[in-house]
Structure formats: C-alpha cells, structure tokens
Structure 1
Amino acid sequence: MDDEPMWAADHVVAPTPGSAITIPETANEFAIKGNHLTLVKGNQFDGRTKTDPHKHIHEFLRICDMFKYRDTENEVVRLMMFPLSLTGEAKTWLDELNEGTIKTWDELRTAFISRFFPPALFDRLLEEIRAFSQHENESLTDAWLRMKEMLQNCHGHNLSKGNIIKIFYHGLSEIT
C-alpha cells in the first residue's frame, strides 16, 4: 500500500480553504474511491489552445457517472472532483477565482467553458466552417471528414443539415 500513488486508495477529499468552489453541506462524510481519482487524474485538462473543454467536461461527467456515493448528490461529487481534473493554466485559472464564486455545477461548467472556449474562438471556428473549401488534391471523402471535424470543434454552431450540405457543396472544387 505504501508504494501506491496517493490517489490509488480511497481518500476523504476536503474542500480547500479559500476555494472558489463552495461545496454544499453533505449529510455524511464520504471517501472518493481510489479508482475514481485515478480516472479523473488520467483525464486532466491543461487549458492549452488545442485541448477541447467540451470534450473534457463530457469525459469528466462520464467518469463521475460511473460511480455512485450513497446519500451524496452527484453535484457535490462533481464540485469536489473537478479541480482534480485540472492542471497547468486551467488549474491556475480556477485557483485565481475569487473565494466562493462558484456554488453549483452549472456555474462551474459555464465559467470553465466561457474561459476556455470564449465567444471569439466560437466566431472564428464558425467563420472557418462558412468559408469551407476543398483543398487541391483532396478527395471528396477527406473533404467531408475535414468538414465533420470542423463542425465537431465548433460546439453549438446550430447550423441545420441543409446549411451544412449547402456550405459543403459550394466549397467543393469544380472537378469534384
């Protein structure tokens, strides 16, 4: 047991004094399962420009939903575990928020997405989709796969299937 990393065994996770996240009172103390901590630590978000905050949230929720803590709401577990899923610039961002800023999971998720997927990035990605054009010597299949990837990276684009097909069609080369 002494050779195991600290997150490999069950541990009681206590809120950090001065934390931006206010953890709701729970009726019972509970220990976070070691394998739960290992999964969360294995899916850390560093805040770099190439990392997708939406994918991080999705994966974090998937991991959290795998575990149930009797008499403890999922929201409490999420609020306690999320800081452990951050590293680098993302961890610094959370640590620098004012104490007690975040009281619910929705507030945390919204603040996180706002910081790491700002409106300017969304606008730029949407403009890139609208300006789509097939590259020289790019096959139809490769062009479509690239378009799908662009759409996946622009969460909440709200383009209808008809508009997507229209943008794609008009971006194809004459030969295609």
Structure 2
Amino acid sequence: MSTVSDKTKELFEKLERAKQRAELTFSDRPLLERRDSQDSNYSGYNSSTRSTEEINKPDHSEEGEEQVFEEEEEEVTEEDVANTEEEEEEEHARVEQVQAPMAETIRQLSNPTGGGAAPLCIAYPEPGEGLNDDFELKSGFLHHLPKFHGMSSEDTNKHLKEFEFVCGSMCPKGADINILKMKAFPFTLEDKAKTWLFELPAGTINTWDRMKGEFLTKYFPASKVTVLRKQISGITQGHEENFCNYWDRFKSLVASCPNHGMSEGSLLTYFYEGLTANERGLLDAAAGGSFMDKTPADARELLTNRALNYQQYEGVLSTQRRVHEVSTNSALEDKVNKMSTLLSQVLNGNGGGAMAQVCGMCSTQGHPTDKCT
C-alpha cells in the first residue's frame, strides 16, 4: 500500500513540474520571434506588405498550444490515476489476503485461548479535576485491607468502615480516592463474596457509591435491617451482665445498623427500659432524680461517664469478689472431705466387724451424735 501511494505522489509531482515548464516557455518567448517562426511556415509571404490590421490581429497559436498541452496532460493524468487506483486495489487485496486469519479448527473453536473472557463488571470513571488514576496499589496497603468472606455472621457495615479508614489513611498523593476504593475493594473479598463480584454483568459498577450500594444490597438486605431493629428495640440486660458490658453491647448493635431510622431519644429509651431494676435505680440516682428528664446529649454523656468509671474500678471489685469466692470454696471443700471420710468409715467398719458408732458432728468414733460434747 505504501509503495503504490509513493508512486502516485511521484507521478503527480512530475506532471506539475512539466506544466510549470510549459507555462514558463510560453511566457518568456518574444512575441515577434513567435510571429517570425509562424511566417517561416508559409513560403512567399512578405512580412513588409502586411497591413496594420494583419499585424495587430491577435495571435491564438499560443492559446491553442496551451490547450493541446492541457488536453494531453489531462489524458495522461486520468489514465495514470486510473492505473494507480487499480494498482492500489490489487495491493490492498494482496495485503488483506496475507493478513486474513486462517480458518480455525474444531479443536480451536471448542477450546478458545483468548477473546472469550467476559468483560469485568467495573468501569472506572474519569478522575476528578487535578487528580489522577495512574497509581499503583502497594503491597503494604493491600496487607492492611480487611477481609470479607460473605458469611451471614459477618458485619457488613463494619467491613466498609474499616476499608474506608484504610483507604483514607494510605491514599497516594494526587490520587482520586474514589477510584482507589474501586480498585482496592475487590482485594478485600474472599470466597463467596469474590465470586459474587465477578459474576455481576459487565459495566454494572461505574462509581464507588454504586459499588457500595451493590455490596450492601447483597449482604445487608432489608430483612437483616428489620431483625436488627427488633433487637435494638427489645434489648435487655442479662442477670450476670454488668452495666459496662451492657452499654458496649448496645452501642455495637446500633453501629451494626446505620440505617435503623430511630431517633436518639428512642434509642436511649430502649436502653433504659432494658436495664435491670437495680441498675435502673442507680442510673436514676446518678441522674439526680430521673434519667428520662435528661436531654439526649446529657443522657449519653452520663451513660458514657458511668461506664468509664465502672471500667476504671472493675479490677478492684473483681479482686474482692475473687477473695470471697476462694474462702467460700475452701469451706465447702472441707465439709466435702469430712463427709467422704465419714462415709468410708460407715461402709468399711472396723475390720469387717460390727459397725462402730461415729459421731455425725465431729466425725469421730466412740460416742453417738446426741452425746457429742
């Protein structure tokens, strides 16, 4: 193709140079000399006797020669161009024939080696103004990413919070953080969760919000939201659960359902109603009369401070409780040992003879229980 095009270009350049030489020849030839050359073609013609009108008669020979030259030029140009086009078509056909793929065999069609893979479901958008999407995900960054396996027991919203925290803390300078999240999020998925992502239709995800929405729709459906709302509204403190642990469990339950749709006052009311009678009385006393008379902000501050105080002195209370438990266990073990000794003596007797009397109070032989001093 390139060789034929060069020939065509060279041919047009030659024609242009020939035309310029012809115009230069006609323009520089003296008019009188051309007339003399015309007169020489006619024998016996006397130039001195020509009239003024014949001398001044316009000469069209120059225009005729130019017209003939242009006609010949046009004929040559059209013929050469036609030949050139035919050569280009033949060359193009030969190139296509060489580049045409060979017919695939049945084995190749049954086992394609490339081109048959489905496109990815992620289409990255254009970066924001002043930002770029040409960055590398470092191994240290990927190592800090949380993992999600798609199990029903996993906390979906907690996974997203941890992921966004890592991306915000380790985002490269000048990088579009939304594109960074779209590129890094597939590395957090494992097992069933990764299979779900790769099975989405091509082009489904084109923004970070769309990716997060698809993830929540799959692993945090409306049915799970309803269950968590019921757990929040019906929360109760266990008999062996202290105030600090109950408060932490309540906060974790609320954090696991960001779209619960409950007001702050309603949440605090559910927490207060779930307390045991003793803890509720202590909380009212700490509030100066009634916990429900506090504003939501003051009530949350009171709960936080009380849980913090309990956590600070929990070690002292636990030590006292352990000392009391150890002393109680020692007394019980002593009584169990005495009863075991008494039982063995009753069963074995004195060398197989008559059963000796054993006092039930002091566990000694020689006197009955009612005469024990």
- TM-score range relative to shorter protein: 0.7 to 0.9
Are the equivalent residues in 2 in contact too, given 1:20–1:98 (CA < 8 A)? Answer: yes
Unaligned runs of 5+ in 1: 1-15
- 1:54 maps to what in 2? 157
Residue 20, structure 1, aligned to residue 121, structure 2 = yes
* Identity across the alignment (%): 31
3-state secondary structure, aligned to 1:92 = helix
The CA RMSD over aligned residues, in Å, is 2.2
- 2:166 maps to what in 1? 63
Query: Partners in 1 of 2:278 and 2:125 — Cα distance?
Result: 61
Shift of 1:83: 0.8
Query: Partners in 2 of 1:113 and 1:90 — Cα distance?
Result: 12
Query: Partners in 1 of 2:273 and 2:135 — Cα distance?
Result: 57
Report the residue type matching 2:194 in the other structure: K
Pick one of 219, 228, 236 that aligns with 1:116.
Answer: 219
- 1:77 maps to what in 2? 180
Shift of 1:28: 6.5
Query: Partners in 1 of 2:230 and 2:253 — Cα distance?
Result: 10
Are the equivalent residues in 2 in contact too, given 1:46–1:86 (CA < 8 A)? Answer: yes
TM-score, normalisation: structure 2? 0.39
- 1:150 maps to what in 2? 253
**Whose Rg is larger?**
2
Residue 32, structure 1, aligned to residue 133, structure 2 = no
Shift of 1:158: 3.4
- Range moving further from structure 2, 147-156 or 90-99: 147-156
Shift of 1:50: 2.0
| Residues 76 and 149 (structure 1), Cα distance of their counterparts in 2 relative to 1, 3 Å cut | closer
| Residues 174 and 32 (structure 1), Cα distance of their counterparts in 2 relative to 1, 3 Å cut | closer
Query: Partners in 2 of 1:52 and 1:164 — Cα distance?
Result: 20
- 1:97 maps to what in 2? 200
| Residues 151 and 35 (structure 1), Cα distance of their counterparts in 2 relative to 1, 3 Å cut | same
Report the residue type matching 1:55 in the other structure: K
Query: Partners in 1 of 2:133 and 2:186 — Cα distance?
Result: 21
- 1:4 maps to what in 2? none
Query: Partners in 2 of 1:30 and 1:175 — Cα distance?
Result: 59
Query: Partners in 2 of 1:82 and 1:164 — Cα distance?
Result: 32
Shift of 1:17: 5.8
Query: Partners in 1 of 2:151 and 2:264 — Cα distance?
Result: 31
Shift of 1:78: 1.6
Are the equivalent residues in 1 in contact too, given 2:135–2:172 (CA < 8 A)? Answer: no
| Residues 141 and 57 (structure 1), Cα distance of their counterparts in 2 relative to 1, 3 Å cut | closer
3-state secondary structure, aligned to 2:227 = helix
Query: Partners in 2 of 1:91 and 1:18 — Cα distance?
Result: 16
| Residues 165 and 22 (structure 1), Cα distance of their counterparts in 2 relative to 1, 3 Å cut | same
Q: Which has the higher contact order (CA 8 A, sep 6+)?
A: 1
3-state secondary structure, aligned to 2:160 = helix
Query: Partners in 2 of 1:30 and 1:132 — Cα distance?
Result: 47
Deviations 1:82-105 (A, max 9, x none): 111111111011011111111100
User: Which has a greater percent of helix?
Assistant: 2
Deviations 1:102-156 (A, max 9, x none): 1100000111111111111011011011112222233333322222222122222
Are the equivalent residues in 2 in contact too, given 1:30–1:69 (CA < 8 A)? Answer: no
| Residues 154 and 17 (structure 1), Cα distance of their counterparts in 2 relative to 1, 3 Å cut | same
